[in-house]
Amino acid sequence: MTLNKQSGNMYPWVSGTKNPIRGKCPHDCSYCYVKTSRVKHLYQGEPYLVESFFKTGLGSGKTIFIGSCFDIFADKIYQKNPSWVGSILKHCKKYSDNIYLFQSKNTHLLYWYDLPKNSIVGTTAETNRSTSKISKADDPIVRLDWLHQIVWLKRMISIEPILDFDLDEFLSMLRYASPHFVSIGADSKGHHLPEPPPEKVRELIQELERFTTVKVKPNLKRLM
């Protein structure tokens, strides 16, 4: 299982990705890019552990996004196969010279797991409003509340795909989570989501820059 190099709309600061769990992600987000990608056939059916992940090295000096196509911290994975994530983390720790990104919409499990000490923990916050109509994951306010509590690791927030929001409330939620940086991007696959107008996007970025670093992804240009 070789390292998948970052490409397309992936984070430019990531060296590559690894997906040690495949099958259908329990969160089933309506906008998930994997559903229309060339690897969509790998993310259908019951989740399964990719054994080849443990048979190859992870190298050194890289920033590796673990679980870019599947939220490995989803409750369903922990409940049915509690040893899977532990074994994945153990393998990552063998290659301690790397930085690992663990991004999840189930941040309460990120809080409880013993992650590698040089990890970046992240979550998605598309809006301050409920996302129950487009995802089976916790609402963003719950995700950010738990992220705020992981004070011993570097924290990031992905606002992608950015949905329409209430500026003051959204900023309050984001500030509370105390992210080291925020990445902002838009829907790239035409899912007809409720999106904010350009002036709101610009104001959000301006206010975020008062307390954190903002990384704007190329696909946000469509809304700017």
Give the pLDDT confidence of 128-155 residue by residue, as tens digits: 999 999 999 999 999 999 999 999 999 9
Amino acid present at 42: L
Note the pLDDT tens digit of each residue in 36-71: 999 999 999 999 999 999 999 999 999 999 999 999
Considering Cα of 66, then 70, then 75, then 81, what sign does the dihedral take?
negative
Once rounded to an integer, what is the mean pLDDT over residues 96-109? 98
Look at residue 6 and tell me whether its pLDDT is greater than 80: no
Could you tell me the two tokens for 99? 């930085």
Cα–Cα distance for residue pair 18/148, rounded to 1 Å:
26
Q: Quote the distance between the C-alpha of residue 178 and its chain's center.
A: 16
Taking Cα atoms as reference points, which of 166, 169, 27 lies closest to residue 107?
A: 27
Q: For residue 124, is it left (φ>0), alpha (ψ between -120 and 50) or beta? A: beta
Please state, for a pLDDT cut of 90, what percent of the chain lies above it.
94
Please report the pLDDT score of residue 4 as a whole number. 66
Q: What is the pTM of this model?
A: 0.94
- Residue numbers of the domain that contains 52: 4-223
Cα–Cα distance for residue pair 134/127, rounded to 1 Å:
12
Hunting for tokens 């941040």 — which residue is that? 107
Could you tell me the two tokens for 95? 């290659």
3-state secondary structure of 39: coil
142: domain CATH number?
3.20.20.70
List, in order, residues 6 or more apart from 112 with CB less than 8 Å away: none
Q: Quote the distance between the C-alpha of residue 58 and its chain's center.
A: 20
What total of structural domains would you count in the chain?
A: 1
Taking Cα atoms as reference points, which of 127, 164, 124, 160 lies closest to residue 143?
A: 124
Please report the pLDDT score of residue 190 as a whole number. 87
Cα–Cα distance for residue pair 75/71, rounded to 1 Å:
9
Please report the pLDDT score of residue 188 as a whole number. 86
